[in-house]
Amino acid sequence: METPVESTRERLLNIAEQRFGEGGYEGTSLRAITVAAAANIAAVNYHFGSKEALLRAAVARAMAPVNTERRRRLDQLEAKGDPSAEQLIRAFIEPGLDLVLRRGERGPVVARFIGRVAFDPSQRIRELYAAESDPVEARYLAALQIALPRAAPESVAFGYVNMLGLLALHQSQALTRAPGLEPADIDGGEDPGKLAENLIAFLVAAFDRGLRA
């Protein structure tokens, strides 16, 4: 059974994910979070210390399972020797989109939160997000450069950065759809698995075409 202290902390984190995902860091007041969480500023100070620390804790909680799964898949691929670019892209993309599947009803909230933080206008907030994801992401970039030996390192890095951006766009649900297109036409609708396959196929083709150009 959860203690009241644990319940308050989790409630603040849950509401922070929702509100930061909807309004961004600067557009979300600490008061709005505490009111929605039936808490107060003192509770935030007690559990986290500040608004930024609350955001950092929410990012760390959301990214922990993603980083763990990405690291596990990469370790497994490298143990077998010489993973292909497609295998690396799949191992990176699927855990990010699995946020929707593994969190149940809260999946879309968490995915939107991560996508929004990754695109926050504040460099400070983007750096905070990067601090939670850079170690494992750096390994994937290095692995892709090995898997694509004929490509210039800067070309692989360009493709990699664009892969990160496209994934975050889907997570944040910030993609603008052309007139007449339904969600299912773009991202698989309610099927994250279909979205993953579409996105992986697109990225593999983009890496192949872009690095041959």
pLDDT of residue 180: 56
Please check whether residue 156 is in contact with residue 145, taking contact to mean a CB–CB distance below 8 angstroms: yes
Render each residue's pLDDT in the chain as its tens digit; 213 residues. 444 455 899 999 999 999 999 999 999 999 999 999 999 999 999 999 999 999 999 999 988 888 999 999 999 999 999 999 999 999 999 998 887 666 667 778 888 898 888 888 888 888 888 888 778 889 999 999 999 998 889 999 999 999 998 888 887 766 655 555 555 554 545 566 788 899 999 999 988 875 655
Q: In this structure, are residues 171 and 111 in contact, taking their beta carbons and an 8 Å threshold?
A: yes
List of residues 6+ apart from 114 with CB closer than 8 A: 59, 62, 63, 66, 96, 99, 129, 168, 171, 172
pTM value?
0.82
> Cβ contacts of residue 11 below 8 Å, gap of 6+?
37, 38, 39
pLDDT at res. 1: 43
pLDDT at 93: 93
* Amino acid at position 14, single letter: N
pLDDT of amino acid 129: 85
Cα 207 to Cα 213: distance, rounded to the nearest angstrom: 10
Residue 102, pLDDT score: 64
* Cβ atoms 120, 25 nearer than 8 A: yes
Instruction: Give the CB-side neighbour count of residue 7, counting CA atoms within 13 A.
Output: 6
Residue type, 73: R
Three-state secondary structure readout of the chain: CCCHHHHHHHHHHHHHHHHHHHHCCCCCCHHHHHHHCCCCHHHHHHHCCCHHHHHHHHHHHHHHHHHHHHHHHHHHHHHHCCCCHHHHHHHHHHHHHHHHHHCHHHHHHHHHHHHHHHCCCCHHHHHHHHHHHHHHHHHHHHHHHHHCCCCCHHHHHHHHHHHHHHHHHHHHCCCCCCCCCCHHHHHCCCCHHHHHHHHHHHHHHHHHHHHHC
What's the pLDDT at 88? Answer: 97
